[in-house]
Structure 1
Amino acid sequence: MRIQDRTFIISGGSSGLGLATAQDLYSQGAYIALLDMNTDAGEDAVTQLGKERARFFEVDVSDTDSIASAVEGAVKWVKDTGMELGGVISAAGVGNPGKIVDRNNEPLPISAIDFVLNINLRGTLDLVRQCVPHMTQVKPLGPDGERGVIVLVSSSAAFDGQPGQVAYAASKGAVASLTLPLARDLAQYGIRVVTIAPSLFESGMSAMMSDKVRKSLERVMEFPRRAGRGEEFAKLVRQGVENVMLNGVVVRLDGAMRMPSRL
Structure 2
Amino acid sequence: MNIQGHAALVTGGASGLGEATARALAAAGAKVAVLDVNFALAQKVATEIDGIACECDITSPDSVAAAIAKAAARHGPARILMNIAGIGTAKRVVQKDGSAAPLEDFARVINVNLVGTYNVSRLFAADCAKQPPLADGERGVMLFTASVAAFDGQVGQQAYSASKGGLVGMTLPMARDLPQHGIRVCTIAPGLFSTPLMKQLPEPVQQSLAASIPFPSRLGKPEEFAQLACHIVSNTHLNGEVIRLDGALRMAPR
* TM-score between both structures, scaled by the size of structure 2: 0.96
Which moved further from structure 2: 210-219 or 99-108? Answer: 210-219
Post-superposition CA distance 1:48-99 (Å, at most 9, x none): 112xxx10110111222211211221222234xxxx4221000001112111
In the aligned structure 1, how far is the partner of 2:25 from the partner of 2:161? 28
Preserved CA contact (<8 Å) 1:85 1:138: no
- Per the TM alignment, residue 173 of structure 1 is displaced from its structure 2 partner at its CA by 0.4
Instruction: Indicate whether 1:101 and 2:98 are aligned.
Output: no
Aligned-residue sequence identity (percent) comes to 42
SS at match of 1:221: coil
Q: Is the 8 A contact 1:13 1:22 kept in 2?
A: yes
Aligned pair partner of 1:69 in 66, 69, 72: 66
1:194 CA drift (Å) = 0.8
Q: Tell me the amino acid that sits aligned with residue 244 of structure 2.
A: R
Quote the residue 2:55 is aligned against: 58
Tell me, in whole angstroms, the C-alpha distance in 2 between the residues paired with 1:258 and 1:115.
Answer: 26
Identify unmatched segments of 5+ residues in structure 1. Answer: none
Q: Conserved in 2, the CA contact under 8 Å of 1:60 and 1:66? A: yes
Deviations 1:7-31 (A, max 9, x none): 0000001111011001111011100
Q: Give the corresponding residue for 2:129.
A: 136
State the SS of the aligned residue for 2:70. Answer: helix
Alignment of 1:200-211 (within 5 A): 200-211=192-203
User: Aligned partners of 1:47, 1:74: CA distance in 2, in Å?
Assistant: 14
Shift of 1:217: 2.1
List runs of 5+ in structure 2 lacking aligned partners. none
Q: Secondary structure at the match of 1:72?
A: helix
SS at match of 1:133: helix
1:248: Cα distance to partner? 0.1
Q: 3-state DSSP class of the match of 1:225?
A: coil
Q: Aligned AA for 2:60?
A: D
CA distance in 2, matches of 1:208, 1:125: 29
| Residues paired across the two proteins, number | 254
Aligned to 1:46: 46
Is the contact between residue 94 and residue 205 of structure 1 (CA under 8 Å) also seen in structure 2? no
1-side partners of 2:126 and 2:75: how far apart?
Answer: 14
* TM-score (ref. length: structure 1): 0.93
| Alpha-carbon separation, structure 1, partners of 2:9 and 2:75 | 10
Distance of aligned partners of 1:116 and 1:210 in 2 relative to their CA distance in 1, 3 Å threshold: farther
Question: Is the Cα–Cα contact under 8 Å of residues 37 and 59 in structure 1 kept in the other structure?
Answer: yes
Which amino acid in the other structure matches residue 144 of structure 2?
A: L
